[in-house]
């Protein structure tokens, strides 16, 4: 029998212990990621980060993000930017590079799809 994987409240679920964010340029910024489910090439979970500025890349995978709480400005490699907050839904495709400026602790639900191996 195949059973569902359930997180009853993604906004309040304890994602675990925060750790220093390695790509941050802001002293003291932390993050945590809780994987809810995964199989070959596809996984999903919750990610949370405290305020600060950090770089981000998507090497070899696409990521779908749904912001659950908090606020941030995401700046793409060409300098264009967009603001995200609760309810924002966006995709950062494989090869994407940018900077996240998190204004208030941000929590997102993420789905990552690995590119097929050639």
- Average pLDDT of the segment spanning 60-68: 97
In percent, the amount of the chain with pLDDT more than 90 equals 92
Q: Say if pTM beats, i.e. exceeds, 0.95.
A: no
Q: What is the mean pLDDT of the chain?
A: 96
pLDDT at 116: 86
Domain limits, the chain:
33-114
Residue 109 CA to residue 69 CA, distance in Å, equals 10
Q: What is the pLDDT of residues 16-55, one digit of tens each?
A: 999 999 999 999 999 999 999 999 999 999 999 999 999 9
CA 54 to chain centre: 12
Domain 33-114 part of CATH 3.30.70.1140: no
């Amino acid at each position: 029998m195949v059973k569902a994987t359930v997180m009853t409240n993604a906004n309040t679920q304890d994602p675990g212990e925060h750790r220093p964010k390695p790509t941050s340029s802001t002293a003291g910024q932390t993050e945590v990621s809780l994987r809810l489910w995964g199989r070959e090439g596809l996984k999903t979970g919750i990610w949370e980060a405290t305020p600060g500025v950090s770089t981000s890349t998507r090497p070899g995978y696409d990521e779908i993000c749904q912001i659950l709480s908090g606020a941030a400005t995401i700046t793409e490699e060409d300098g264009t930017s967009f603001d995200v907050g609760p309810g924002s839904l966006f995709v950062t495709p494989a090869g994407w590079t940018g900077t996240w400026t998190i204004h208030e602790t941000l929590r997102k639900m993420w789905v990552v799809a690995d590119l097929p191996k050639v």
